[in-house]
Amino acid sequence: MKKWLLILPTLFLIFFHAGNTHAITNKPIHWGFKKGANERQADAGEQYDKLLEKYGAFYKGSPDEKILYLTFDNGYENGYTAKILDVLKKEKVPATFFVTGHYLESAPELSKRMADEGHIIGNHSWSHPDMTQISDEKIKLELAKVKEETKKVTGQTNMQYLRPPRGILSERTLKVAQDAGYVHVLWSLAFKDWQINQQKGWKYAYDNIMAQVHPGAVVLLHTVSKDNADALEKVIKDLKKRGYIFKSLDDYMLKEKVKNPIIAH
């Protein structure tokens, strides 16, 4: 009997949403794939490409143009976001910052500055849960709280981009997010940059970005990283010298809207 009591919650998570999502699979996907190299795109594979396209999600742009989409995850403030914003302003580079509830509550001034300086604020959930392990209604609540707090703190009223917490998603969470008006934004360039006690110097961040960069890259960086903050200006300048330009996620959606339509709600 005790064994069944332990198993039942898991079974409930798998099947309770069947009425809303027609038993769409909730099998977790931990986003990750072989990194890009030699300025060639990373490939998540046909299975994932089809799944993401079905729900208007994306992780890279066209391989034919040297356009980059810069994104940051902001779970908490570690003292480096202001420097990153200074660099973006100086270099006239747009970015999207995916924020949590903790970040909005603990760093409202920086959050407001992001919006005031023309950057997009995206949704990274209120409490950073594994969304495959919570109910449809809990997911919607997590997203709604971030959107409402962002409006209150920054004045940004629209919010349509979602970065799944921990990089974990499923077809169910894609569907729930889409129904709530969100587009999942994953990434095609990233590295282990979030461990604040294992920073290795600006060149580590610089080398990782420059080695993986490719046309159409959606770049994921974490603002808690001193390495990223110290490397960012040189990264941007050197990528510009290579012929890359930086665009916002809104530009991506306008450019790729036939393949990845903005969902109207």
Residue of 17, 119, 124, 222 with catalytic role: 222
Across-strand partners of 40? Answer: 37
Instruction: State how far the alpha carbon of 253 is from the alpha carbons of 55, 99, 169, 180, in Å.
Output: 14, 20, 21, 18
Torsion on CA atoms 254, 260, 261, 263, rounded to nearest 10: -120
Active site residue 128: no
Active site residue 136: no
In the chain, which ranges are continuous DSSP H helix? 2-15, 18-21, 46-54, 81-91, 101-106, 108-116, 136-154, 171-179, 202-212, 226-241, 249-256
Residue of 17, 73, 128, 184 with catalytic role: 73
Joined together, the tokens standing for residue 120 give 């997009």
Instruction: State how far the alpha carbon of 256 is from the alpha carbons of 58, 61, 249, in Å.
Output: 10, 8, 10
Q: How does DSSP assign 151-184, residue by residue?
A: HHHH------EE--GGGEE-HHHHHHHHHTT-EE
Local structure of residue 16 (DSSP, 8 states): T
Indicate which residues carry an active-site annotation. Answer: 73, 222
